[in-house]
Structure 1
């Protein structure tokens, strides 16, 4: 049995950050990843000779920890080009309100809100939001918005954002996970709009997201390189299948893996065995893998987890002069139920990120056309359909013969929504794990929504065990 300083189970962003944090304390961790690569949903590829992100492209800047981590890694942070985001409805597209959180406007009388809702719709929303705040507010985002501002704000402003960013119905999202502090701000401000204004602050609207110059995928690459340079080990195609207490700490039973029948699920560890013992173990893998592992140590009974959406992207490198002026800014979201297009979102990647703009030859545009909503079955995708959807969304005549290169990327089962019930269950897991000396839990499902929440959680988890 191989004795090591620490074992990290899972090589997504959380696992990489935890392992990297161990090296900062002089430890030499072993990171186990059942797939053939590390980084999880943060990954890169090349299209038409240009390196770009095929997964997560940035993080929410509401928490400064990810920018601080980028600086420690020697990476440069960049912000998207200042431009409105749009939303598509079959009755016409419009630019989303600028001063908003998850589509919830800070000022229901702002011109961009009146355009989106109409004068009468905005008046009704303001009237609803002027009512006294009850002692108990709904825990899910959809019910909160519906109660305070009504179904039109929910349907036209919030649902497209929730579907685009979190791939879920707003009623499935715990408010304090997707927007920490919003519920308390409603009570302090006396209204939902006032809460958004309070959290947004005064002055010019600042970018809400950031990325790494050159591509977000550089962050996991750099984390992995620095882990190895510090003496740590990264074992891909190696998955954990057992976790137990040992005489000198924890025993992790692992094995080499093979790809399962369903590529959306983690590979199955059933090959050559590998047993590790360590005084500290961090479980940083997906919930579907972590739950049975932790179940060998603590009580993991809880709700059935809501599956993630069958997300897929058709990425196009296309030459089309009509896109030179970025007619839909950095991109647009599509309202659920729209019949004019099949896509759920479009991102004009080469317009959005300055470093990607600089990397593209003159006249070449990179578009990401996104598909897949919660509760849907995975659909057959094609470049031709993506071109047709992009043409409808941008209002630009586009043809398949203008496409220079393309890639179809599937992230099936990703971004499972954190419901209020799931959030409560995860908090209980953390409490029980805190009683287990040398054991930590982190990961996207265990830390909160997005990279912004994941980074500080993963670092704190490792620091607690040092």
Structure 2
């Protein structure tokens, strides 16, 4: 039996450990912090009437592939899978304010540029420009595709629909979901097949409409009743039962010849395979310690973290929210000046289990989760987000909730039942071409070393489905 040592007990590390155990390997997972699960964590809002448990990190997974459904079924959680309220989301735009998001679309790109909600969001002039996609040949993009040139979301959409569509429809979605600028995101990574289908149909909008029509029925995302922390909990329980999980155990060095992971606590762990299920800066640090020195690869500069995000979770007793006036939530344009949040999820409107939990305590109780911090923010911490003080963050949340839902701020303040916040940074790379090259160099270096592997959001991409697919694809010969 071969032994696998996994460095990092975030979701990628737990999934990699789970898969290795299932394949017949013995497994040890080491985690630097006291809390496994990475960006899948729970938050309990303590109100005077009782507790409300919600997700404080990833709250759902993309259901485009079956990888997560199958993994959850293997873990015995199939009956806990739930879909969100189909009411849809809204956008908060400059000059316009809150408007419904286009119902037919992909990452904010409209599948029908002439739909009334698209015209309402863009205005008649910009909507007419967007409709040119329906008639303008895709020849230039076919040539770029044939030449193997990278195509970003922003470049494609600005050319086909006009820059206003990027600004008003696409940027809020890409920034809200991926914490990235559309002009930095490769469209093949978030919408595989779209460019080729657009070339085939002569229109991006027509391609989106075709892909949406062909998609299996059901929600684009799913979650678990009670929150995605159940997923992390099930993985932790499995690894603890069938392998070993060591928390508060930071890996500090690697020896390739012996497959040894050295830790800050002085413990040594030996494996035939070592998986670096960590962020790329930490992977860079560990690779830079490799002995023998002759086997240590030369790496470019250490990758950089992104600006990070702060999430504020608030339980409020407001009858005005009973009708779900912003659907399941709202994505905010980066160009808006009267709302600091980049997104707000109306948790109790989106998930029935959350609504039931909250309304048991008060029939008008709602939970709203506001997100702060954009990839385009300056690195000095001056923008609202990861570095914002707790008091300032809460003040922003009160103001933004009032503005987004069109409720007087004083009424919000008078009806807050509980509030909490959490900050995330380690799972979010700086999204620049230079940083992408540094991350790719780490991946290449790892692949060149027999028995060493790397996985996680920095290498797999954003989202639980992408992370799971990447971690499950690791192969540890001779058993796999």
Aligned to 1:8: 6
Matching residue of 1:379: 388
Q: TM-score, normalised by structure 1?
A: 0.89
Contact 2:30 2:245 in 1 (8 A): yes
Matches within 5 A, 1:41-440: 41-48=39-46, 49-75=51-77, 76-91=80-95, 92-128=97-133, 130-134=136-140, 135-136=143-144, 138-202=150-214, 206-230=218-242, 232-247=243-258, 250-255=259-264, 272-295=265-288, 296=290, 297=295, 299=297, 301-302=299-300, 305=303, 307-360=305-358, 361=360, 362-374=363-375, 375-376=377-378, 377=381, 378-380=387-389, 381-397=392-408, 398-412=411-425, 414-419=427-432, 423=436, 426=439, 429-440=442-453
Deviates more, 1:436-445 or 1:299-308: 299-308
1:57 Cα deviation after fit: 0.3
1:461 offset after TM fit, Å?
A: 0.9
Take 2:211 and 2:252, find their aligned partners in 1: how far apart are those partners?
44
Asked whether the equivalents of residues 314 and 406 of structure 1 are also in contact (C-alpha less than 8 Å), the reply is: yes
CA contact (8 A) 1:5 1:279 kept: yes
Residue 449 of structure 1 pairs with residue 447 of structure 2: no
Is contact 2:314-2:367 (8 Å) kept? yes
Backbone CA RMSD of aligned residues: 2.3
Shift of 1:190: 2.5
Aligned-partner Cα distance in 2 for 1:71–1:287: 30
Q: Distance in 2 between matches of 1:32 and 1:198?
A: 46
After superposition, the Cα gap between the structure-2 partners of 1:464 and 1:440, relative to the gap in structure 1 and judged at 3 Å, is: farther
Tell which deviates more after alignment, 275-284 or 406-415: 406-415
Q: Please, which of 25, 28, 36 is the counterpart of residue 27 of structure 1? A: 25
In the TM superposition, what is the alpha-carbon distance from 1:370 to its structure 2 partner? 1.4
1:328 offset after TM fit, Å? 0.4
**C-alpha distance in structure 2 between counterparts of 1:67 and 1:300, whole Å:** 39
2: CA distance between counterparts of 1:43 and 1:69? 18
CA displacement, residues 304-357 of structure 1 (integer Å, 9 cap, x when unaligned): 645323311111111111111111011101111212122211111011112111
Give SS of 1:316's match. Answer: strand
Matched length: 445
Classify 1:451/1:300 alpha carbon distance in 2 versus 1 (closer, same or farther; 3 Å): farther
Q: Is the Cα contact below 8 Å between 1:79 and 1:209 reproduced in 2?
A: yes
Contact 2:348-2:355 at 8 Å conserved across structures = yes
* CA distance in structure 2 between the aligned counterparts of 1:9 and 1:327, rounded to whole angstroms: 44
- Structure 1 residues 27 and 354: alpha-carbon distance in aligned structure 2, compared to 1, 3 A threshold: same
Residue ranges of structure 1 left out of the alignment (5+ in a row): 256-271
Unaligned runs of 5+ in 2: 382-386
Which range is displaced more, 236-245 or 134-143? 134-143
